[in-house]
Structures are given as C-alpha cells and as structure tokens.
Amino acid sequence: MPVHSIMLPDSKILKRVAGLKSVVIVGCKLCANDSLAFHTDYPIGRFAVDKDIGETVFLPIPIEEEEKRLKNLLESKGMSVRTETLGCPVCEISYQTEPDILELAKRCVGADAILSLSCVVGTLALKKQLGKALKIVPAMKTVGVLQPCKVLDEAKEFLYLDKNHSTLIRFKV
C-alpha cells in the first residue's frame, strides 16, 4: 500500500531553505505523485512513446506540476533551482547500484540542498545516500497510507485516480 503524503505549507518550506542559494528539487513519481493527484484534479500521468527508445513511458503530471510551482516560488526568492523527477521511487534509491546514485549526485553538483518531494522513506533514502554531500530538506509530510484505484481514460493515454474507489487511511497522531 503506497504511503500518503501532503505538501508542507510554502511558508515552512521557505523557512527550511532560507539562506540557500541553489536547490535541486527531487520528485518521486510514485507515492508522492499519487498523493498529489489525490488532492488535485490532475491525472496521475499520461502514457507516451519515447522517440529515442521507441518504448511507451509513463509521464507523471502532479509531481512535475508541483516541481514547477516550487521552482517558480524559490526562483522568485532569488534561488537557483533545478528539478529532477526520478525514474524510480525515491525510497528505492538506497537499493540502486552505485553508478545510479553517483549520476544523481553529479546532477546535484553545485547545489546547497535537495528539496525532497517524497514520502518520509524517500527522504530518508536521500539522506542515507547523499546526506554527507548535500543538505536534504523534506517538503512533504507523511500522513497515512493510500490504496489508489487507478483508471485509464478511453483513449488509454491518461491515468486517473478514482477518489471514490480509493482508500485513504490517515495516521492518528
């Protein structure tokens, strides 16, 4: 069952990155994307053929929209911002091979921090793998678990979250 997270308020995120000059926003296209889809009207994503490899790929929509929104917010505060939507769940980064982690680290060179758009487990994985080189700043709060019900549109291009048939169990804290 996927972890369910919500975005922290912008004011809290801004406080956490105050004084930084450069940030890389790292987004998870699995649980975080589903969580954002649950709270918006965006489709979870769409399917498209990658012309370079000739295969169908899944393009997440809510996480990339939130990355863009945060990028604009942080840039308006004078920060240099890049975005990375990982091809795998962020929580699995600790299980990836060393070259994959080194590749992500290379793409983050020059940044003061990574702003993690993932569940608490994904943020922990980033801290374990890259925490010595970069500050890892969570931008989401894990609040429960979600069993998503996903449906394709008639054209089989867009994947939607059916909120009426999904089950959200919030943690009691």
Report pLDDT digits (tens) over 13-29: 999 999 999 999 999 99
Is the pLDDT score of 75 beyond 80?
yes
Which span out of 16-30, 41-55, 76-90 was modeled with the highest average pLDDT?
A: 16-30
Buried b / exposed e over 146-164, threshold 16 CB at 10 Å, is: bebeeeeeeeeebbbbeee
Instruction: Please list the alpha-helical segments (H only) found in 41-166.
Output: 62-76, 98-107, 120-130
Q: What is the mean pLDDT of residues 162-173?
A: 92
> Which residue stretches of 40-85 are H helix?
62-76
Domain that holds residue 102: 3-41+61-148+164-170
Beta bridge partners of 146: 168
Question: Helix (H) and strand (E) counts for the chain?
Answer: 5, 11
Alpha carbon separation from 47 to 13, 17, 50, 80, 157 (Å, rounded): 31, 34, 9, 31, 5
CATH code of the domain in which 37 resides? 3.40.50
Mean pLDDT in the chain?
92
Instruction: Tell whether 33 is covered by a domain.
Output: yes
Answer whether residue 94 is part of any domain.
Answer: yes
Kindly state whether residue 112 falls inside one of the protein's structural domains: yes
As for how many domains the chain has, the answer is 1
Contact 75, 81 (CB under 8 A): yes
N-term to C-term CA, the chain: 19
In a domain, residue 158? The reply is: no
Structural domain contains residue 28:
yes
